Amino acid sequence: MNFHVYKDFILESVTVYTDRPGKRKIELINGNKEIVDSVEVDLNIGKNIVKLDFHCEAKAGSYNLATNAEVNKSQ
């Protein structure tokens, strides 16, 4: 998910769905392709609400919220 930040805020949580349970690493990546924050979670089949508490600063401009491909492939 790509998004722009115009005012500092904390991304408290995200809802994700999966048909394959297991470990995932969710990463917050800034516009410079740097990982700003990350969290590892163990997902269950179906709906999962994941607590993040990621700080998103307006000065960074854009962000990408994604899962780490290497962790996904290993699962």
| Residue 71 · residue 41 · CB < 8 Å | no
Whether the predicted model's global pTM rises above the 0.75 cut? yes
Report the C-alpha gap between 1 and 50 in whole angstroms: 15
* 47-57 per-position pLDDT tens digit: 999 999 999 99
* Helix H or strand E encompassing 72: helix 69-74
Find all residues with CB under 8 Å of 16, minimum gap 6, and list them.
24, 26, 43, 47, 48, 50
* 5-53 per-position pLDDT tens digit: 999 999 999 999 999 999 999 999 999 999 999 999 999 999 999 999 9
